[in-house]
């Protein structure tokens, strides 16, 4: 049945043909006392102000904010096992890279995932997706990367697809192959095997899949990292790169020159590096939950935006360095530690995330023809979402016009 949400502060956030930069980061397309009509098919039919049309189901927003659902463009939500035991070592001062070199960190998750079948992986991932949906996420990128072998990476990618189908919230997922994660110390020819065997196998099984790699000491570095990028692009696969998290790689200009789609982290990047990224076509993905959890270092997103860059904010949900599932928390950290306004945070976590994942024609705005992935906040001001503190679901969340958390108090519908 058609759904009408009326008397809302509607943030339409037109998604446009290009990502938001400059002045566009400050415009949210707000309609005070507006309404949105959603059809039986879960697609936005119309949006406006004044007298609303009739509908079978009506929700009186009472002035509260109605906005697009969030889009989490960088997560590692497919894993089994846990790494809670490492936190005592981190709090005692042991650096994350030291834990990784000693066989912990990423490699701990690799061992668990390799011992898990596809069904177990899909089940664990589906539960996380459901929890993320209740916290406002409508579309979620999910990486493989805890396999580090052709067989297990393919198993993870299949499990991600299975999880999206199994998730009751009908959350939309975009799978990324993080074949270039850690270096497997038990495989002496791991780099060659990844480039010559794993990448071609993934590209053959799943043409056009985005490839990803982690450029850092103890992981992929220098010429090996550039060979990974070159091989992926030659296979017709876009590339994303984790880079400059703990140490400055010096590879940003080369990566951008090769045409990588995004560079993620950038906590250790120099001012000149950020200017280079800002003046390119690459997305810069900020992951503030990781900085908060590990070392209180954050990308200088203010500098990036002032230089005209394309910013995305994501959760980096993973079992180690960002052990949480809520994108709103990452947004709140970005506002506090990156000097961003509410509008800039929302554009980065929705509009630009949609463009990065290639779903801007489907979600990321409230416009006729878009899928009705929406959030009706508990509050009448969007600042509450960006500047508040984590306190559960931010409001009533809809995927394709259907409430994910219909039990959320104070936000019910009336026939």
Q: What is the pLDDT of residues 1-36, one digit of tens each?
A: 899 999 999 999 999 999 999 999 999 999 999 999
What pLDDT, on the 0 to 100 scale, is given for residue 107?
A: 86
Residue-wise pLDDT for 204-259, tens only, equals 999 999 999 999 998 999 999 999 999 999 999 999 999 999 999 999 999 999 99
pLDDT (average), residues 72-101: 86
Q: Which long-range contacts (CB under 8 A, 24 or more apart) does 196-201 make?
A: 197/150, 198/149, 198/150, 198/153, 199/228, 199/231, 199/232, 199/235, 199/237, 200/235, 201/150, 201/154
Checking if the pLDDT of 413 tops 80, the result is no
Question: What average pLDDT does the segment 298-313 reach?
Answer: 98
Residue spans of the domains in the chain: they are 3-68+364-403, 71-357
Whether the pLDDT of residue 97 is over 80: the answer is: no
- Whether residue 310 is predicted with pLDDT greater than 70 in this model: the reply is yes
Note the pLDDT tens digit of each residue in 98-111.
877 777 788 889 99
Structure tokens at 358: 């290639």
Asked if residue 410 has pLDDT above 90, the reply is no
Q: What is the pLDDT of residue 89?
A: 83
Residue with tokens 């250790």: 268
Q: How confident is the model at residue 414 (pLDDT cuts 50, 70, 90)?
A: low
Q: What is the pLDDT of residue 90?
A: 79
CA–CA gap between residue 241 and residue 243 (Å, rounded): 6
Whole-model pTM: value is 0.96
Given 3.20.20.140, 3.50.50.60, 3.20.20.70, 3.90.600.10, which CATH number is that of 71-357?
Answer: 3.20.20.140
Give the model's pLDDT for residue 349: 98
pLDDT in tens, 103-141: 778 888 999 999 999 999 999 999 999 999 999 999 999
- Token pair 């990803």 in the structure block, residue: 212
What is the distance of C-alpha 288 from the center of its chain?
12
Residue 171: its pLDDT value, please?
A: 92
Segment 42-47 mean pLDDT: 98
φ and ψ of 399, to 5 deg: -120, 120
> Is 415's pLDDT higher than 60?
no
Alpha-carbon span 282 to 238, nearest angstrom: 12
Contacts of 325 (CB under 8 A, 6+ apart): 77, 128, 131, 132, 135, 315, 317
Query: Residue 251 has what pLDDT?
Result: 98
Average pLDDT across the chain, whole number: 95
Out of 71-80, 102-111, 274-283, which region has the weakest mean confidence (pLDDT)?
102-111
Extended beta strands in 29-68, E state? 30-38, 44-49, 57-60, 65-68
Q: Are 143 and 179 in contact (CB under 8 A)?
A: no
**pLDDT value of residue 64:** 97
Tokens read off for 272 = 């000149």
pLDDT, position 95: 82
- The residue behind tokens 């000149």 is 272
Determine the CATH number of domain 3-68+364-403: 2.30.40.10
pLDDT tens track for 363-401: 999 999 999 999 999 999 999 999 999 888 999 999 999
Mean pLDDT in residue range 143-164: 97
Q: How confident is the model at residue 168 (pLDDT cuts 50, 70, 90)?
A: confident
Tokens encoding 101? 């070199």
Report the pLDDT value the prediction gives residue 94, as an integer from 0 to 100.
84
């Amino acid at each position: 049945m058609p759904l009408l949400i009326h008397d809302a502060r509607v943030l339409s956030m037109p998604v446009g043909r290009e990502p938001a930069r400059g002045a566009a980061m400050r415009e949210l397309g707000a309609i005070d006392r507006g309404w949105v009509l959603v059809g039986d098919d879960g697609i936005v039919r119309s949006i406006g102000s004044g007298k609303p049309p009739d509908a079978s189901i009506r929700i009186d927003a009472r002035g509260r904010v109605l906005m697009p659902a969030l889009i989490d463009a960088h997560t590692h939500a497919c894993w089994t096992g846990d790494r809670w035991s490492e936190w005592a070592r981190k709090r005692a001062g042991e650096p994350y890279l030291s834990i990784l070199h000693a066989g912990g960190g990423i490699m701990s998750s690799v061992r668990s995932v390799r011992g898990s079948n596809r069904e177990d992986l899909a089940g664990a991932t589906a539960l996380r997706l459901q929890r993320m949906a209740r916290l406002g996420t409508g579309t979620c990128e999910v990486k493989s990367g805890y396999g580090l072998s052709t067989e297990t990476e393919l198993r993870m990618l299949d499990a991600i697809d299975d999880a999206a189908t199994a998730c009751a919230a009908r959350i939309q997922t975009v799978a990324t192959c993080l074949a270039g994660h850690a270096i497997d110390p038990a495989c002496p020819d791991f780099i060659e095997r990844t480039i010559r065997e794993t990448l071609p196998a993934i590209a053959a099984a799943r043409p056009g899949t985005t490839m990803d790699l982690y450029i850092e000491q103890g992981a992929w570095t220098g010429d090996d990292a550039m060979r990974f990028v070159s091989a992926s692009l030659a296979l017709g696969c876009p590339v994303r790169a984790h880079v400059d998290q703990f140490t400055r790689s010096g590879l940003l200009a080369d990566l951008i020159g090769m045409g990588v789609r995004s560079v993620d982290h950038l906590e250790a990047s120099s001012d000149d590096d950020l200017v280079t990224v800002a003046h390119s076509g690459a997305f810069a993905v900020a992951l503030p939950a990781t900085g908060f959890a590990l070392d209180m270092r954050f990308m200088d997103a203010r500098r990036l935006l002032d230089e005209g860059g394309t910013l995305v904010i994501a959760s980096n949900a993973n079992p180690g360095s960002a052990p949480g599932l809520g994108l709103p928390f990452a947004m709140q950290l970005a506002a506090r530690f990156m000097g961003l306004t509410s509008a800039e945070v929302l554009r980065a976590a929705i509009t630009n995330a949609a463009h990065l994942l290639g779903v801007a024609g489907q979600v990321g705005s409230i416009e006729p023809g878009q899928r009705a992935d929406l959030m009706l906040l508990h509050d009448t001001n969007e600042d509450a979402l960006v500047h508040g503190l984590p306190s559960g679901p931010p409001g009533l969340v809809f995927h394709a016009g259907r409430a994910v958390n219909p039990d959320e108090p104070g936000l019910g519908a009336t026939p």
